[in-house]
Copies of this chain bind each other. A is one copy, B any other.
Amino acid sequence: MGNLTVCSGKAWEKALKRVKLVVAYEGTRYCGWQLQPNGITIEAVLNQTLSELLGEEIQVVGASRTDAGVHSLGNVAVFDTETRIPPEKICYALNQRLPEDIVVQSSCQVLDDFHPRRCYSEKTYEYRILNRKIPIPTLRRDTYFYYRPLNLERMQQAASFLEGEHDFKSFCSVRISVEDTVRTILSCTVEKFFKDIITIRVTGTGFLYNMVRIIAGTLISVGVGEILPEFMPVILEKKDRGAAGPTAPAHGLTMIGIEYGGGNR
């Protein structure tokens, strides 16, 4: 009977389980999230470190495949494992082995059908701008330095036009062809911190390629007076990438976090 308990215990422990990681990183050193033939990526480092730690071949699936230079406070990745390490302890063991610019914030077991990109989610991104005459060295990696004065009120007014369900074709990189370019932005706010830091915070249920960086670039064009706030609906209507502003540089962007429907499943 003692044996029986141990056996069934082992069987339970050996079962495949799906684990969700919340991953923070400084993107500076990486060629983005997604595996690349040339160049180190966040995904590659996680796969390798998890495989070494757990003694299995691990392949993570990420929620937001951030570009080179983009940072994260709360990107999400899942993987399947047979490990006996309790899921919520994996993050501590993993952080011991990860480089200092990738830190897993939490780990937990999720339902087997949980998929970080296919399940309903609300993603939040922040684009940070240092708006002053001269750069600040300690902010150079995660804040875009822009020296022409930006008008906050105009940016806020323009941002409000983006909220809701729209065809965001004008805000999608032409390098990627997507059939359905309709997306929903739940909120798009512009705030000022510490006198000269302007943040653009966008929450939505889905984003097109480069969408947040094109929104940031367009709001910057509004801030310097090159585009009128009232022109935002026209840009949306045109469904033409050329109608929006430039794509703001990657290093100003941070993936803040992802909320999944049904809570932390």
**Which A residues contact B (CB, under 8 angstroms)?**
24-26, 71, 73, 91, 95, 100-106, 134-138, 140-142, 254
In this complex, the member of A100, A102, A137 whose beta carbon has the largest number of chain B beta carbons within 10 angstroms is: A137
Q: How many copies does the complex hold?
A: 2
Q: Which chain B residues border A106 with CB–CB below 8 Å?
A: 134
Give the CA-CA distance A95 to B140 in the complex, in Å.
14
Taking a contact as CB atoms closer than 8 A, the residue among B102, B136, B141 that contacts A24 in the complex is B136
In this complex, the member of A24, A134, A140, A254 whose beta carbon has the largest number of chain B beta carbons within 10 angstroms is: A134
List the 10 shortest-distance A-B pairs measured between CB atoms, nearest first. Answer: A26-B137, A101-B137, A26-B138, A103-B137, A138-B142, A103-B135, A105-B134, A25-B137, A71-B138, A24-B137
Taking a contact as CB atoms closer than 8 A, the residue among B71, B103, B135, B142 that contacts A134 in the complex is B103
In contact, B136 and A103 (Cβ under 8 angstroms): yes
Give the CA-CA distance A102 to B140 in the complex, in Å.
11
**9 A-B Cβ contacts within 8 A?**
A24-B136, A24-B137, A25-B137, A26-B137, A71-B137, A73-B136, A100-B140, A101-B140, A104-B134
